[in-house]
Structure 1
């Protein structure tokens, strides 16, 4: 008599879908994917949704294995002792293994006066849709202020400026994860598109029609968009599991929870050894593959391997006709090398399309997804845990 291993994947983003697909390598695994939305969200295209040139969603039927049971619900609590997941509907799901792939959030600051009431977030589908709806009532020439000069803010400013919007980007530093040449490439393109960049600045107050900076300047703003910082869902902390200070699930280097061997983490919400990788689609998918391979190894009676993914760079769209590809060391530190212009835009678009292709291929041929290795995790860990 054969037994079936029940694996519940919490979260239907890049990490969750890849994990569910990869699990189908074994016929004796019962796969359940829990997600609150009926469609897959391409978070890397949400700025395009707002600009009106992409809907940023894909049907699960195109990218998710038919072996997985999709449950449209939200997870409320993990009962590790009972091996059960409680859902918002009141239902309970039993599991033998649970893969925690809840992703990240991009909330508006609660510490900046007026931001929560007057600014729009961009990092999730519903908030991007609300922003898109708001902009339909705003003339093209009306000022838009984006707070946050990371990659999300840069891509949004470029996309909307290219569409004819009057955009100002407020940031402490433009593209802090980029090397000097990459930052210059981004700044040059923003200037060419007519976007204004205000650096070395901090928003201290957001009103319905302005953003006040620390130096006292008031920037007119018909619509303010907040792209500064990331967070994670509180499910792990609410369930009494060990997390780092941001709320990511603490794991060992096999991505197994430090509290429970039946719980594994993947993607933005994972904090292996208290040294999490950069929150990104590029690194979320290797994490998902590794967490799944840990489960498969244990089921096969093998010792799971330690995490050692490699980063190869950062791809930034600067509108539809230009981009910047920042090359990096395997440990995700930027190199003084980049590609710009139309070639970079072509590469970026290929990466976006390729991400869905990787997911779809893994659904058809589980185990086919692979990623560069050699991120020198052991060297990084010698520095000691951070963020715990």
Structure 2
């Protein structure tokens, strides 16, 4: 594949300089034919010795959803409506990388931790609303950009447009690293404080006959 296709030219140059500084060698346009315990073999037969191999070739969805009979996209993801409800099995909800969810721009959300957080919030809100007979609130499904950590003191935050293509502008260096650190700490805090420090709200399940009439707010 080409060098960092998801980044703008300036961000790509930043990444190249960071890799050079960190001693990372990039083998462009190189396909991997085999991964063995102590080496990687490329398609042209080149052997790359490796003490540890970290496989990061992309994302794939477990075939269990398709095998269970749920409607899935070509990617194997569960096709959901705006509330993260399976379009073929209304009692099933999907969130995260397994959900084929359409964002505000009319395109499928990319597999990412950001998309997982948004779809998780939407699915949770929808399930609670349908159990209690309330109107389903809408969580914004907008993808803002890609964040790459380059150590504790450097990072790249590449903004993307409505077409999910990189914008000319990006945030880099210590500022981007601090932003990334803040996001990670915020996620950790959110797990420990699922209600964000707010008091929990007591809810009563609605009669089953009332649940079918629940709508998703526009």
Same fold (TM over 0.5): yes
Corresponding residue number in structure 2 for 1:259:
88
Corresponding residue number in structure 2 for 1:219:
48
Q: Does 1:241 align with 2:80?
A: no
Corresponding residue number in structure 1 for 2:110:
278
Shift of the 288–317 alpha-carbon distance from structure 1 to 2, 3 Å rule, reads: same
Shift of the 291–217 alpha-carbon distance from structure 1 to 2, 3 Å rule, reads: same
Q: Does 1:350 align with 2:179?
A: no
Q: Does 1:289 align with 2:121?
A: yes
Corresponding residue number in structure 2 for 1:336:
168
Deviation per residue, 1:104-156 (Å, 9 max, x gap): xxxxxxxxxxxxxxxxxxxxxxxxxxxxxxxxxxxxxxxxxxxxxxxxxxxxx
- The secondary structure found in structure 2 opposite 1:263 is coil
Structure 2 residue aligned with 1:324, among 156, 159, 162? 156
Shift of the 331–298 alpha-carbon distance from structure 1 to 2, 3 Å rule, reads: farther
Deviation per residue, 1:244-279 (Å, 9 max, x gap): 233221112221111222211111110136953111
Deviation per residue, 1:11-65 (Å, 9 max, x gap): xxxxxxxxxxxxxxxxxxxxxxxxxxxxxxxxxxxxxxxxxxxxxxxxxxxxxxx
Question: Taking structure 2 as the reference length, what is the TM-score of the superposition?
Answer: 0.77
1:197 to partner: Cα distance: 0.9
CA distance in 2, matches of 1:208, 1:175: 27
More off after superposition, 324-333 vs 193-202 = 324-333
Corresponding residue number in structure 2 for 1:194:
23
1:237 to partner: Cα distance: 2.5
Corresponding residue number in structure 1 for 2:212:
none
Q: Which of the two has greater strand per residue?
A: 1
CA distance in 2, matches of 1:319, 1:300: 46
1:325 to partner: Cα distance: 1.3
- Aligned residue runs from structure 1 range 1-388, under 5 A: 172-272=1-101, 276-302=108-134, 304=136, 308-329=140-161, 332-363=164-195, 364-365=197-198
Shift of the 251–275 alpha-carbon distance from structure 1 to 2, 3 Å rule, reads: farther
- The secondary structure found in structure 2 opposite 1:335 is strand
In structure 1, list runs of 5 or more residues that go unmatched. 1-171, 368-388
In structure 2, list runs of 5 or more residues that go unmatched. 201-218
Which structure has more relative contact order (CA 8 Å, sep 6+)? It is 1
Could you say what the CA RMSD is over the residues aligned between the two structures, in angstroms? Answer: 2.6
Corresponding residue number in structure 2 for 1:140:
none
Contact 2:109 2:143 in 1 (8 A): no
